[in-house]
Chains A and B, each alone.
Chain A
Amino acid sequence: MKKKIYLTAGYNTISMGTGRKEFNPKNSRPGIEHYIKEAGQSTIKMINGAENVDEIVISNFAASQYNNQGNLPGYAPFIDDKLRYKPSTRVEGACGSGGLALATAIKFLLSGESEVVLALGFEVQNTMKAVYGADVLATAGWWAHRKDGHAHFFPGQFSDRAGAYYEKYGKDITRKAMVKWYQNAIENARLDNTAQEFHNSDTDLEKTASIEPNKKSFVENLTVFDCSKVSDAASAIALMTEDGLKRCNISKSDAIEVVSFAQAEDDITTKPEDATKLLTTQKAVQNAFLKAGITKDEIGTVEAHDCFSIAGIMAIEALGFAEFGKGPEFVISGKTTRDGEVPFNTTGGLVGWGHPVGATGIHQAVTIWQQLTGKAKSSQIKINQNKPYGMTINMGGDDKTVTCIIFKKSE
């Protein structure tokens, strides 16, 4: 990194959806303004005022369809009057939008143009029934593949990946690992009161998730427990330079530092070269490691993009924690649990915390910030001194738009 970049003042709203007790599909719900304002104002308060912010990056996937709203940069001044006339930029890379917001903010800071950037991601998708929401989410794939795709397009894509994986490496062990992934996700989500699955009181998660996929009612190789839930939420975090920290009067102990970041993009018009591997994710991770000059053995915790349990398992392999085909064993042996070798998704990840598409990448960074600065409350894990680094991997579409960031607690 040419310059030290810090992240601080992370904030997540509640991840709203069918998992929450207060959610009732028949009642009206807060709209995008509510979420944007809550997350934006909370972060601004922690950095002592909007006057400290130089510019804003907003990430969102499909407000134009879910909420009939485009031109999203215009929401910056809505958060706080002091942001009026300041630069505001919206980024979009489907489920990878949040990662793009962070990468964009980092570049703005590196360019010297700004010292403090507010990054805010949001998605409010419960405005539609799932059957129509699937149409919106499908635009994260290539349009020409939609006709032949499944009614639930993305579950269909990852069902195909899971099917290929079963065939190559064995179905039983993989399913077993997916069940374990679900268990970990829910158990972690129960420790974070903003998580969608915070209220999950199921006493036998293993049994619940151990049902057979049924292609008549859903997709061939996944069950609903393998999927992240439709979520309404916003997450915000402030990125700043050393001068920015001073301006905002933030102590370094309340911040984490970007060690490296890497983006990788694959051609949206193509199908996966090997359905059992997340090759774009692998590329982004390798570049991030290279730039950071560290190895996987120094990673203390990971926020992986488990839009589907199988994607979580494939991410483990793309990261190099397990060889290709050995991800399931890694999960089953408990290495990804909160007290395991490398705790993954400590607040539930996409399966447990929720997947408010455009906010997810930022939510991941907020979780790493909480964990590395000791602010994770009930979900706090112990960070091993020999493994001081945290990593986020945010993926848009079917392994197309990937951002990987490595962080450490600032010194």
Chain B
Amino acid sequence: MNYDEKLTNISILGAAGKMGSGILLLTAVEITDLNFRKENQDKVFVLNAIDISNKALSGLIEYVRVQIRKIAEKKIIQLREMYKENLELVNNSQIIDDYIGKVLANIRTSTRMETAYNSEIIFEAVNENPELKIKLFTQIDDNSKNQPWYFTNTSSVPISYLNEKANLGGRIIGFHFYNPPAIQKLVELINSESTLPEITEFAQTYAKNLKKFVVNSNDIAGFIGNGHFMRDALFGIKMVEELQEKYGFAKSVYIVNKITQDYMIRPMGIFQLIDYVGIDVCIYIMSVMNPYFVDEEIHSELLDKLFEMNIRGGQNSDGTQKDGFFKYQKGKMTNIFDFPSNAYVNIEDVFPVEEILGQLPKKHLTWKEAIKIKENENPISEYFYNLKDTNSLGAELSIKYMKASKAIGEKLVTLNVAKTEKDVNDVMKTGFFHAYGPINNYLG
């Protein structure tokens, strides 16, 4: 069975979720484009969007409809070529409307798991809960005659574990998109020892057709992305714990968030990122990873405490940010959670943090400036050179953080999670949008 035929019947589990909806969108576009090819015009392509909530599925179709329009507008030159033979459709608007209709027509929504029984490929994007994933895989595999291939979007669970527990005989691969899948270029591809070579080959073609940048991670819990992020987050939490005696909790969170964003030239501060990903999701990922690293404690009591107080971060279905370490209004941080009051304080009340941290070093560039420059190594290196020579708390903390972040990156190579240092840097740059990789010599 070739690539195109494999894609004639796919099911996406958790299709209405944050990751599932993006995977659905990209896959729907891919099969529609395949359908246009002469050799495929008689084939029927079915993409099942399976989720537990009918309401969420309605919202999903609306989301996909809006997003396909954007995609179609961007590739209008290619679309006109694809519609060359269709003399009825002349204007860009006619072609775009028709294309949107075709993509949507390939999507079937369903709340019933039975829908997946006929699929050749199962794309799993449900909660990061190993037991749930295993249960779904087992159920489908027991009822399907197709010996389907399983693509899991897990960001932490070892593929070999899922393979073994669900008894899949190597018909599974880790295909980890980054959030949001429609925009983020990175896919972490994870082969277990038993993953069938034809699945790997297919996955590579599929990633290439989706114009994704692939980094191969080894099959060790957390892989490269979360392997770095979770440890990096734990380091930030540790730093807060050290600072809070002197500055109090809220101010310490603000300080660490600020140095990780401004001083380290990242798109978000570390606590903002935890909020974005979700405190609950971070706890879950850490709990999946923790048993695999006996010498390490990948766990945070602070996150547990917040979770128990129902402070969980993540996004509402309309994309707005839920409360976490920070409260947000229109994407901007307005309040910070504080201990021991267990209440949010106004962000202005934690000022003036600048007086504590000192001025930003000379030649500082913002993250936005840094990513706009194609060859940004020199300006970044100049900035860090100045940072090294700056005598301020901000500089001191950020140097400490940079070193820790680098050590985490190197550890991923030592632990054989990543094959090379470049892979670690590539994941952080393309999956987390960092302006530079953590393994660098900027601090000499």
Contacts and interface: CB of A to CB of B under 8 A. Distances in A.
A392 B87 CA distance: 40
Given A131-B96, A151-B80, A138 B73 contact: no
Interface string A137-152: 0100001001100110
Nearest to B73: A131
A146 B88 CA distance: 12
Nearest to B86: A147
A264 B104 CA distance: 49
Contacts of B320: none
B90 interface: yes
A216 interface: yes
Contacts of B92: 131-132, 134-135, 151
Contacts of B90: 143, 146-147
A318 B70 CA distance: 41
Nearest to A135: B91
A135 B93 contact: yes
A67 to B, nearest CB: 16
Contacts of A131: 73, 76, 92, 96
A216 B77 contact: yes
B97 to A, nearest CB: 11
A147 B83 CA distance: 10
A265 B79 CA distance: 34
A147 B81 CA distance: 10
Contacts of B80: 150-151
B91 A146 contact: yes
A217 B73 CA distance: 12
A151 B87 CA distance: 15
Given A151-B76, A151-B77, A132 B93 contact: yes
A26 interface: no
Nearest to B87: A147
Interface in A146-189: 146-147, 150-151
A207 interface: no
Interface in B69-85: 73, 76-77, 79-80
Contacts of B87: 147
A129 interface: yes
Contact of B91 (A129, A138, A150, A215): A138
Contacts of B93: 132, 135
Contacts of A215: 77
Contacts of B96: 131
Contacts of B91: 135, 138, 146
Contacts of A135: 91-93
Q: Which of A134, A143, A147, A217 has the most CB of B within 10 A?
A: A147
A295 B232 CA distance: 76
B73 to A, nearest CB: 5
A203 B411 CA distance: 45
Contacts of A134: 92
A127 to B, nearest CB: 13
B83 to A, nearest CB: 9
A129 B73 CA distance: 9
Give the interface SS of chain B, mostly helix, strand, loop or mixed. Answer: helix
A135 B77 CA distance: 13
Interface string A58-94: 0000000000000000000000000000000000000
A73 B80 CA distance: 37
A134 B91 CA distance: 9
B49 to A, nearest CB: 27
A138 B76 CA distance: 15
Contacts of A147: 87, 90
Nearest to B96: A131
Contacts of A138: 91
Nearest to B88: A147
Nearest to A138: B91
B373 to A, nearest CB: 15
Interface string B161-198: 00000000000000000000000000000000000000
A215 B80 CA distance: 13
A25 to B, nearest CB: 13
Nearest to A147: B90
Nearest to A217: B77
Interface string A97-137: 00000000000000000000000000000000101101100
A147 B88 CA distance: 9
Q: Which of A132, A150, A217 has the most CB of B within 10 A?
A: A132
Nearest to A153: B92
A135 B92 CA distance: 6
Interface string B299-337: 000000000000000000000000000000000000000
A150 B92 CA distance: 10
Nearest to A218: B77
A143 B94 CA distance: 14
Contacts of A129: 73
Contacts of B73: 129, 131
Contacts of B79: 151
A164 to B, nearest CB: 21
B75 to A, nearest CB: 9
A151 B84 CA distance: 12
Contacts of B76: 131, 151
Q: Which of B76, B77, B96 has the most CB of A within 10 A?
A: B77
A146 B92 CA distance: 10
Contacts of A217: 77
A216 B75 CA distance: 9
A110 B77 CA distance: 48
Nearest to A215: B77
Nearest to B79: A151
Nearest to B94: A135
Interface string B50-77: 0000000000000000000000010011
Contacts of B77: 150-151, 215-217
A227 to B, nearest CB: 15
B185 to A, nearest CB: 17
Interface in A299-320: none
A300 to B, nearest CB: 42
Q: Which of B73, B87, B91 has the most CB of A within 10 A?
A: B91
Nearest to B95: A151
A216 B79 CA distance: 12
A129 B80 CA distance: 17
Nearest to A139: B91
Q: Which of A129, A135, A151, A217 has the most CB of B within 10 A?
A: A151
A146 B87 CA distance: 11
A217 B92 CA distance: 15
A146 to B, nearest CB: 5
A147 B92 CA distance: 10
25 contacts: A129-B73, A131-B73, A131-B76, A131-B92, A131-B96, A132-B92, A132-B93, A134-B92, A135-B91, A135-B92, A135-B93, A138-B91, A143-B90, A146-B90, A146-B91, A147-B87, A150-B77, A150-B80, A151-B76, A151-B77, A151-B79, A151-B80, A151-B92, A215-B77, A217-B77
Closest 6 CB pairs of A and B: A135-B91, A151-B76, A131-B73, A151-B77, A147-B90, A151-B80
Given A131-B92, A146-B90, 20 more contacts: A129-B73, A131-B73, A131-B76, A131-B96, A132-B92, A135-B91, A135-B92, A135-B93, A138-B91, A143-B90, A146-B91, A147-B87, A147-B90, A150-B77, A150-B80, A151-B76, A151-B77, A151-B92, A216-B77, A217-B77
